[in-house]
Amino acid sequence: MRRKLAAGNWKMNGSAAALAELQALAALSTSDSTDILICPPSTLISRAKSVAGNVALGGQDCHASTSGAHTGDVAADMLKDAGASYVILGHSERREDHNERDEDVRSKAKTAWDAGLVTVICVGESLSEREADNTLDIIGGQLAGSIPDGATGENLVVAYEPIWAIGTGKVPTMSQIGEVHDFMRMRLERRFGEGVGRTVPLLYGGSVKPGNAEEIFAVSNVDGALVGGASLKASDFSAIITALDAA
Protein backbone atom coordinates (compact mmCIF):
# COMPACT_ATOMS: atom_id res chain seq x y z
CA MET A 1 0.00 0.00 0.00
CA ARG A 2 1.33 3.43 -0.93
CA ARG A 3 0.78 6.31 1.45
CA LYS A 4 -0.78 9.46 0.07
CA LEU A 5 1.22 12.64 0.62
CA ALA A 6 0.17 16.28 0.49
CA ALA A 7 3.38 18.31 0.51
CA GLY A 8 3.58 22.09 0.77
CA ASN A 9 6.65 24.03 -0.32
CA TRP A 10 6.69 27.54 1.13
CA LYS A 11 9.81 28.43 -0.87
CA MET A 12 11.34 31.74 0.30
CA ASN A 13 8.15 32.90 1.99
CA GLY A 14 7.27 33.26 5.63
CA SER A 15 8.56 34.59 8.89
CA ALA A 16 7.30 33.89 12.42
CA ALA A 17 3.81 35.26 11.64
CA ALA A 18 3.33 32.51 9.04
CA LEU A 19 3.35 29.88 11.76
CA ALA A 20 -0.28 30.81 12.49
CA GLU A 21 -1.17 29.27 9.09
CA LEU A 22 0.67 26.09 10.01
CA GLN A 23 -1.12 25.94 13.34
CA ALA A 24 -4.46 26.41 11.59
CA LEU A 25 -3.55 23.71 9.08
CA ALA A 26 -2.65 21.29 11.86
CA ALA A 27 -6.04 21.91 13.47
CA LEU A 28 -7.97 21.51 10.18
CA SER A 29 -6.22 18.44 8.85
CA THR A 30 -6.60 15.26 10.80
CA SER A 31 -6.33 12.45 8.30
CA ASP A 32 -5.26 8.89 8.99
CA SER A 33 -4.69 7.94 5.39
CA THR A 34 -2.89 11.03 4.07
CA ASP A 35 0.50 12.25 5.25
CA ILE A 36 0.85 16.02 5.38
CA LEU A 37 4.16 17.81 4.95
CA ILE A 38 5.13 21.47 5.06
CA CYS A 39 8.58 22.61 3.95
CA PRO A 40 8.99 26.10 5.39
CA PRO A 41 12.18 28.15 5.08
CA SER A 42 14.81 26.40 7.22
CA THR A 43 14.85 29.38 9.61
CA LEU A 44 11.34 28.41 10.73
CA ILE A 45 11.66 24.65 11.12
CA SER A 46 12.48 24.46 14.82
CA ARG A 47 9.79 26.99 15.74
CA ALA A 48 7.32 25.27 13.42
CA LYS A 49 7.82 22.04 15.33
CA SER A 50 5.91 23.32 18.34
CA VAL A 51 2.73 24.11 16.37
CA ALA A 52 2.87 21.47 13.60
CA GLY A 53 0.92 18.70 15.36
CA ASN A 54 0.64 15.80 12.89
CA VAL A 55 2.05 17.85 10.03
CA ALA A 56 5.57 16.66 9.15
CA LEU A 57 8.25 19.24 8.41
CA GLY A 58 10.89 19.28 5.72
CA GLY A 59 13.74 21.31 4.33
CA GLN A 60 13.81 22.66 0.76
CA ASP A 61 17.41 21.66 0.02
CA CYS A 62 20.53 20.39 1.79
CA HIS A 63 24.24 20.24 1.06
CA ALA A 64 25.89 17.05 -0.16
CA SER A 65 28.48 17.26 2.66
CA THR A 66 27.69 16.61 6.29
CA SER A 67 29.45 19.74 7.61
CA GLY A 68 32.25 22.16 6.85
CA ALA A 69 33.17 25.40 5.11
CA HIS A 70 30.06 25.98 2.99
CA THR A 71 28.82 29.45 3.86
CA GLY A 72 25.08 29.81 3.62
CA ASP A 73 24.32 26.13 3.13
CA VAL A 74 22.47 23.77 5.42
CA ALA A 75 23.37 20.15 6.18
CA ALA A 76 20.88 17.29 6.22
CA ASP A 77 21.77 16.52 9.84
CA MET A 78 20.96 20.12 10.78
CA LEU A 79 17.52 19.87 9.19
CA LYS A 80 16.92 16.65 11.08
CA ASP A 81 18.15 18.23 14.30
CA ALA A 82 15.77 21.18 13.78
CA GLY A 83 12.79 18.84 13.48
CA ALA A 84 12.59 17.96 9.79
CA SER A 85 11.86 14.45 8.58
CA TYR A 86 11.84 15.21 4.82
CA VAL A 87 13.87 17.29 2.38
CA ILE A 88 12.96 18.45 -1.13
CA LEU A 89 15.86 17.97 -3.55
CA GLY A 90 16.38 18.98 -7.17
CA HIS A 91 13.48 21.43 -7.34
CA SER A 92 13.57 23.19 -10.71
CA GLU A 93 14.22 26.50 -8.94
CA ARG A 94 17.37 24.96 -7.38
CA ARG A 95 18.36 23.46 -10.71
CA GLU A 96 17.90 26.88 -12.36
CA ASP A 97 19.07 29.34 -9.66
CA HIS A 98 22.01 27.23 -8.42
CA ASN A 99 22.91 25.23 -11.51
CA GLU A 100 22.17 21.97 -9.74
CA ARG A 101 22.72 18.95 -11.96
CA ASP A 102 21.36 15.44 -11.57
CA GLU A 103 24.63 14.27 -10.03
CA ASP A 104 24.43 17.02 -7.37
CA VAL A 105 20.90 15.95 -6.50
CA ARG A 106 22.05 12.35 -6.26
CA SER A 107 24.90 13.22 -3.85
CA LYS A 108 22.58 15.31 -1.71
CA ALA A 109 20.04 12.49 -1.60
CA LYS A 110 22.63 10.03 -0.31
CA THR A 111 23.61 12.43 2.48
CA ALA A 112 19.96 13.07 3.31
CA TRP A 113 19.25 9.33 3.57
CA ASP A 114 22.27 8.92 5.86
CA ALA A 115 20.76 11.62 8.07
CA GLY A 116 17.45 9.73 8.17
CA LEU A 117 15.48 12.15 5.99
CA VAL A 118 12.94 11.13 3.36
CA THR A 119 13.86 12.78 0.04
CA VAL A 120 11.28 14.35 -2.26
CA ILE A 121 13.20 14.33 -5.53
CA CYS A 122 11.81 16.64 -8.22
CA VAL A 123 11.92 16.08 -11.97
CA GLY A 124 10.25 17.96 -14.81
CA GLU A 125 10.58 19.16 -18.37
CA SER A 126 10.74 22.71 -19.70
CA LEU A 127 8.15 24.03 -22.15
CA SER A 128 10.54 23.68 -25.10
CA GLU A 129 11.31 20.08 -24.11
CA ARG A 130 7.59 19.35 -23.92
CA GLU A 131 6.96 21.00 -27.29
CA ALA A 132 9.82 19.03 -28.86
CA ASP A 133 8.17 15.83 -27.60
CA ASN A 134 11.14 15.03 -25.36
CA THR A 135 9.30 14.86 -22.05
CA LEU A 136 9.73 11.16 -21.30
CA ASP A 137 13.41 11.20 -22.31
CA ILE A 138 14.05 14.13 -19.98
CA ILE A 139 12.15 12.55 -17.10
CA GLY A 140 13.85 9.19 -17.62
CA GLY A 141 17.28 10.86 -17.58
CA GLN A 142 16.51 12.87 -14.47
CA LEU A 143 15.21 9.81 -12.61
CA ALA A 144 18.28 7.77 -13.54
CA GLY A 145 20.70 10.58 -12.68
CA SER A 146 19.13 12.08 -9.57
CA ILE A 147 18.06 9.03 -7.56
CA PRO A 148 20.89 7.10 -5.86
CA ASP A 149 20.94 3.32 -5.60
CA GLY A 150 19.22 2.08 -2.48
CA ALA A 151 15.87 3.79 -2.90
CA THR A 152 12.91 2.32 -1.02
CA GLY A 153 9.28 3.18 -0.55
CA GLU A 154 10.26 4.62 2.84
CA ASN A 155 13.15 6.92 1.87
CA LEU A 156 11.99 8.21 -1.53
CA VAL A 157 9.14 10.30 -2.90
CA VAL A 158 9.29 11.52 -6.51
CA ALA A 159 7.57 14.72 -7.62
CA TYR A 160 6.79 15.35 -11.29
CA GLU A 161 6.78 19.11 -11.76
CA PRO A 162 6.66 20.40 -15.34
CA ILE A 163 8.68 23.62 -15.12
CA TRP A 164 6.17 25.51 -17.26
CA ALA A 165 3.36 24.64 -14.81
CA ILE A 166 5.06 25.97 -11.67
CA GLY A 167 3.51 29.19 -10.45
CA THR A 168 1.93 29.86 -13.85
CA GLY A 169 -1.63 28.61 -13.41
CA LYS A 170 -1.02 26.27 -16.36
CA VAL A 171 -1.58 22.58 -15.78
CA PRO A 172 -0.91 19.69 -18.19
CA THR A 173 -3.87 17.69 -19.40
CA MET A 174 -4.80 14.79 -17.15
CA SER A 175 -3.63 12.37 -19.83
CA GLN A 176 -0.23 14.12 -19.97
CA ILE A 177 0.10 13.79 -16.18
CA GLY A 178 -0.98 10.15 -16.34
CA GLU A 179 1.48 9.36 -19.11
CA VAL A 180 4.43 10.73 -17.10
CA HIS A 181 3.34 9.11 -13.83
CA ASP A 182 2.82 5.68 -15.45
CA PHE A 183 6.24 6.06 -17.08
CA MET A 184 7.90 6.99 -13.76
CA ARG A 185 6.28 4.00 -12.04
CA MET A 186 7.55 1.69 -14.78
CA ARG A 187 11.08 3.10 -14.58
CA LEU A 188 11.20 2.81 -10.77
CA GLU A 189 9.94 -0.78 -10.90
CA ARG A 190 12.48 -1.66 -13.54
CA ARG A 191 15.42 -0.19 -11.63
CA PHE A 192 14.56 -0.99 -8.03
CA GLY A 193 12.34 -4.04 -8.49
CA GLU A 194 8.57 -4.23 -8.55
CA GLY A 195 8.25 -4.45 -4.78
CA VAL A 196 10.08 -1.17 -4.22
CA GLY A 197 8.97 0.63 -7.38
CA ARG A 198 5.34 0.02 -6.55
CA THR A 199 5.62 1.62 -3.11
CA VAL A 200 7.36 4.93 -3.93
CA PRO A 201 4.79 7.75 -3.68
CA LEU A 202 4.58 9.84 -6.87
CA LEU A 203 3.46 13.45 -6.50
CA TYR A 204 2.30 15.88 -9.16
CA GLY A 205 3.34 19.53 -8.70
CA GLY A 206 2.66 22.71 -10.64
CA SER A 207 -0.31 25.05 -10.06
CA VAL A 208 -2.26 22.58 -7.91
CA LYS A 209 -5.23 24.43 -6.39
CA PRO A 210 -8.41 23.47 -4.53
CA GLY A 211 -10.26 23.79 -7.87
CA ASN A 212 -8.18 21.26 -9.82
CA ALA A 213 -7.00 18.90 -7.07
CA GLU A 214 -9.84 16.40 -7.40
CA GLU A 215 -9.28 15.69 -11.10
CA ILE A 216 -5.50 15.51 -10.66
CA PHE A 217 -5.80 13.01 -7.79
CA ALA A 218 -8.03 10.80 -9.94
CA VAL A 219 -5.16 10.24 -12.40
CA SER A 220 -3.45 6.85 -12.20
CA ASN A 221 -0.23 6.72 -10.19
CA VAL A 222 -0.76 10.18 -8.69
CA ASP A 223 -0.34 9.64 -4.94
CA GLY A 224 -0.41 13.27 -3.89
CA ALA A 225 0.85 16.74 -4.70
CA LEU A 226 3.74 19.09 -4.16
CA VAL A 227 2.11 22.47 -3.74
CA GLY A 228 3.74 25.89 -3.77
CA GLY A 229 1.48 28.96 -3.73
CA ALA A 230 -1.64 27.18 -2.48
CA SER A 231 0.23 25.75 0.52
CA LEU A 232 0.73 29.20 2.04
CA LYS A 233 -2.88 29.45 3.20
CA ALA A 234 -4.26 26.80 5.53
CA SER A 235 -7.75 27.03 4.01
CA ASP A 236 -6.48 26.35 0.46
CA PHE A 237 -4.07 23.61 1.45
CA SER A 238 -6.58 21.83 3.67
CA ALA A 239 -9.06 21.78 0.75
CA ILE A 240 -6.38 20.06 -1.33
CA ILE A 241 -5.76 17.58 1.49
CA THR A 242 -9.50 16.85 1.69
CA ALA A 243 -9.54 16.13 -2.06
CA LEU A 244 -6.57 13.78 -1.70
CA ASP A 245 -8.13 12.02 1.25
CA ALA A 246 -11.27 11.37 -0.79
CA ALA A 247 -9.38 10.11 -3.88
211 contacts ligand PGA (rule: CB under 6 A): no
* Among 6, 9, 157, 237, interactor with ligand PGA by CB under 6 A: 9
Q: Which is nearer to ligand PGA, 178 or 228 (CB)?
A: 228
Question: Closer to ligand PGA at the Cβ: 192 or 237?
Answer: 237
Segment contacting ligand PGA by CB under 6 A, of 40-48, 60-68, 176-184, 203-211: 203-211
Q: Which of 196, 205, 194, 185 is nearest to 88 (CA)?
A: 205
According to CB under 6 A, which one of 116, 150, 167, 195 is a site residue for ligand PGA? 167
How many Cα atoms sit within 13 Å of 75 on the Cβ side? 12
Nearer to ligand PGA, 81 or 96 (CB): 96
205 lies in the site for ligand PGA, by CB under 6 A: yes
- The number of residues that bind ligand PGA (CB under 6 A) is 13
Asked if 89 is part of the footprint of ligand PGA (rule: CB under 6 A), the reply reads no
CB 113 within 8 A of CB 150: yes
Kindly indicate which of the ranges 74-82, 108-116, 137-145, 223-231 contains the residues binding ligand PGA, using the contact rule CB under 6 A.
223-231
- The one among 228, 237, 240, 241 contacting ligand PGA by CB under 6 A: 228
**Site for ligand PGA (CB under 6 A): which residue of 208, 216, 239, 241?**
208
